[in-house]
Structure formats: structure tokens, C-alpha cells
């Protein structure tokens, strides 16, 4: 908290529609008098020793402020970073092009161990489902994202899924704390321990051990494929719980759940670490509509509200949330992707107007 009574927060507007949706959040925050001053930094990647890295000034800012809000960062191209294996090249060069996603780099740099992805149906926004209300907590540092891969012999590649007791225990503990703090009565560990008996098995063991410290919370386990099967048939039994899982499963299940409520334009996320936390909209940078004033800032706004709650600024969060959800529920002044005809600015103004009335 600075001498002006405000908290400094790093703002990474990001690429494509990032700057527009960031402007929207800033405008709403001014109108709501949220005691935050934004320290805006760019994360345009720089090339260092053949690798794309995040500029130091961005890293320093997040480290200093310990809280950041982040728009979408484009990965250099869709997935150009398929590494060629020996079997595919003549010269035996197995290194390939190798752009690492900047989103992942940020998660790694700050050891953001828990990725929190709430997913709740938004009233008034029509999808086949209106009773989704779950919180996914994804281990965010290892698993299938270890980055360890090698070609054993020509045409035989191994990727390592790395599971450690330490990271499993840490994310499990975070999940139980989160459930406790948010009044959710059940934590479900999602896994494929029927197949990956040792790795997912250890993940489950860690969850089981942590569960003992939370006697007030029901703990259970469910197979990833079963959850996918059942939540699409009926999301209700999955409401009001927290689901915790290894990295890749969280990637998949969170996108699936986002699909059930209407897409990534509506889902917030937070990457929680011990020394810093980054709240981000996980949708893409939407280059096709960038700069046209049509972007939907909701995911970034909802992510910022997770951030406010993380900072114990709950009242501001609730007030803004109410204004945004009411605006969507009324359905008059919403952006195109939500089925409306309004510009980012008009939608933002509508939310601000609601704030004034509150």
C-alpha cells in the first residue's frame, strides 16, 4: 500500500484485444474508486540466447508488487514449436524452433503452483446449462508440462509426466483452504490413477493425507473420463465443490466447463504462488477483432475480481461483480460474442452506470 493509500498492481495488458479489455477494467475500477494504482508493463518478448524471454522490467514489477492482472499473450504462432525428432530430420538436429508460451513462462518464473479456475453459469446468458458452478484447481508447475522429452531411438519419443509429492501436497492444501474459505463442502481429486498408478497415485495419496487436516470437508476422488462424461450430462452434482487435479487434466476440464457456460469470454482465472500471484483471462488475443472496439472484457474483469478478493478488497469485488452480472443478465448492452450488439466501450459504460446506482 503506497502513501496515497493505494495498492500498486502490475498490469500486463497483453496482445491483440488485451489493451482494449484492460482499458475497460481500468475505467470500471476508477468509477468504483478501487484503491489500486496500475503499473503497466509490456511483455513483448525479447530474444536472448536464441530463446524468447520476458523483459526484466516486467519480471521486476510483478516481483515487487506481488500481484498482477494479465491480458492474453499471443504465443508466437499457433504451434510452430513442434520439435523435430531425429526420425524427421536429415541432419539429426532435434532441437527445433522452440518458442515457449509466454503464459507458461510467467507461471514458471514465479512458481505459480495453483491455477484456480472457477466456472459458474451466468444468469441470463443462455447456454444448454444453467447450473454449472464449480471451481477447478489445477496443479500448475509440473505433470505433463514438465517439458522433459527425448527421442530414445529413431521414431520413439518419451515425454515425462513428472509428479512430486511436494507439488501435489501443496496444491491439495491450497484446494482445501480454498474450499474452506469459500464455503464449499467437498473437494474432489480428479485423476487417471487406474492407468498412471504411480504418478496419479501419488497425487491422490497427497490429497488423501491433506484431507485428514480438514475434517469439515468431504474428500473424494473421481476419474477424469467419468467427470467429463457426467458433468456434460448433468453439472448439478459438481456444483458447490472444488475439484483439484494434475496440470493437463485442469487444462482440459477447465476448457470443457468453460464451454458449458458459454466460453472463455466469461471465465476468470488466477495463478497463485507464494511470492506472487497473476490473475489472467485465459482466452486468446483474438487478433481478428483487435483494435476494433468489439472485444469482451468480462473474463479479464472477473479475473480482476478474484484478484481483489485475494487482496481482501471484497466489497469492491462484490459491487463490481453485481454491476457486471446485472448488465449481462439484462442482455441489452452486451458485446457481440455474448449475443449483443454493443462495443467494448458501451458495455463498459453500462457496467459503470450500474455501479453509480448501487
Ligand X SMILES: CC(C)[C@H](C(=O)O)[C@@H](O)C(=O)O
Q: Which of residues 93-152 bind ligand X (CB under 6 A)?
A: 101, 103-104
User: At its nearest, how many Å lie between ligand X and the CB of residue 76?
Assistant: 12
Longest distance between any two alpha carbons in the chain, whole Å? 68
Closer Cβ to ligand X, 283 or 354, answer by number:
283
User: At its nearest, how many Å lie between ligand X and the CB of residue 194?
Assistant: 5
CA distance 190 to 173: 15
Q: By C-alpha distance, which of 122, 207, 220, 218 is closest to 173? A: 207
Closer Cβ to ligand X, 114 or 282, answer by number:
282
CA-based torsion, 169, 172, 176, 182: positive or negative:
positive
Q: Hey, is 63 helix, strand or coil?
A: helix
Span 273-312, contacts to ligand X by CB under 6 A:
282
Name, in order, each residue with C-beta under 8 angstroms of 111's C-beta and a sequence gap of 6 or more. 141, 273, 274, 275
Among 142, 200, 251, 337, binds ligand X (CB under 6 A): 251
Closer Cβ to a second copy, 11 or 244, answer by number:
244
First to last CA, the chain: 26
State how far the alpha carbon of 77 is from the alpha carbons of 43, 80, 93, 281, 349, in Å. 16, 6, 21, 19, 34
Closer Cβ to a second copy, 168 or 303, answer by number:
168
Closer Cβ to a second copy, 207 or 242, answer by number:
207
In the list a second copy, ligand X, none, the entry touching 164 (Cβ below 5 to 8 angstroms by class) is a second copy
State how far the alpha carbon of 107 is from the alpha carbons of 24, 273, 332, in Å. 25, 9, 37
Beta bridge partners of 284: none
Residue 10: phi and psi, rounded to 5, are -75, 135
Closer Cβ to ligand X, 104 or 313, answer by number:
104
User: At its nearest, how many Å lie between a second copy and the CB of residue 141?
Assistant: 13
Determine if 182 is a binding residue for ligand X (CB under 6 A).
no
User: At its nearest, how many Å lie between a second copy and the CB of residue 177?
Assistant: 21
Q: How many residues does the chain have?
A: 358
Among 87, 195, 229, 329, binds ligand X (CB under 6 A): 195
Contacts with ligand X, 217-236, as mask; x by CB under 6 A: --------x-----------
Integer-rounded Cα radius of gyration of the chain: 21
Residues lying near ligand X in the complex (CB under 6 A): 101, 103-104, 194-195, 225, 251, 282
Amino acid at each position: 500500500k503506497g502513501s496515497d493509500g493505494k495498492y500498486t498492481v502490475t498490469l500486463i495488458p497483453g496482445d491483440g484485444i488485451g489493451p482494449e479489455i484492460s482499458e475497460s477494467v481500468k475505467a470500471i475500477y476508477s468509477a468504483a474508486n478501487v484503491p489500486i494504482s496500475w503499473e503497466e508493463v509490456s511483455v513483448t518478448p525479447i530474444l536472448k540466447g536464441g530463446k524468447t524471454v520476458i523483459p526484466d522490467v516486467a519480471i521486476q514489477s510483478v516481483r515487487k508488487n506481488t500481484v498482477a492482472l494479465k491480458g492474453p499473450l499471443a504465443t508466437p504462432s499457433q504451434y510452430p514449436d513442434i520439435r523435430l525428432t531425429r526420425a524427421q530430420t536429415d541432419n539429426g538436429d532435434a532441437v527445433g524452433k522452440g518458442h515457449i508460451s509466454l503464459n507458461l513462462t510467467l507461471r514458471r518464473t514465479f512458481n505459480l503452483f495453483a491455477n484456480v479456475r472457477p466456472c459458474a453459469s451466468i444468469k441470463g446468458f443462455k447456454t444448454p446449462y444453467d447450473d454449472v458452478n464449480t471451481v477447478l484447481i489445477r496443479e500448475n508447475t509440473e505433470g505433463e508440462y514438465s517439458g522433459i522429452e527425448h527421442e530414445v531411438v529413431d521414431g520413439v519419443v518419451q515425454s515425462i509426466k513428472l509428479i512430486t509429492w511436494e507439488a501435489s501436497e501443496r496444491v491439495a492444501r491450497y484446494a482445501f483452504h480454498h474450499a474452506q474459505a469459500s464455503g464449499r463442502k467437498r473437494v474432489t481429486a480428479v485423476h487417471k490413477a487406474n492407468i498412471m498408478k504411480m504418478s496419479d497415485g501419488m497425487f491422490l495419496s497427497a490429497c488423501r493425507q491433506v484431507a485428514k487436516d480438514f475434517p469439515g470437508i468431504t474428500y473424494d476422488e473421481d476419474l477424469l473420463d467419468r467427470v467429463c462424461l457426467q458433468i456434460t450430462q448433468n453439472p448439478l452434482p459438481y456444483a458447490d465443490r472444488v475439484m483439484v487435479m494434475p496440470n493437463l487434466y485442469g487444462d482440459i476440464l477447465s476448457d470443457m466447463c468453460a464451454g458449458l457456460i458459454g466460453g472463455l469470454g466469461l471465465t476468470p482465472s488466477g495463478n497463485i504462488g507464494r511470492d506472487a500471484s497473476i490473475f489472467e483471462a485465459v482466452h486468446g488475443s483474438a487478433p481478428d477483432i483487435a483494435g476494433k472496439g468489439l472485444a469482451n472484457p468480462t473474463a479479464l474483469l472477473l479475473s480482476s475480481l478474484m484478484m481483489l478478493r485475494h487482496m481482501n478488497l471484497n466489497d469492491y469485488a462484490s459491487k463490481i461483480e453485481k454491476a457486471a452480472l446485472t448488465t449481462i443478465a439484462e442482455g441489452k448492452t452486451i458485446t457481440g460474442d455474448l449475443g449483443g450488439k454493443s462495443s467494448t466501450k458501451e458495455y463498459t459504460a453500462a457496467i459503470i452506470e450500474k455501479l453509480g446506482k448501487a
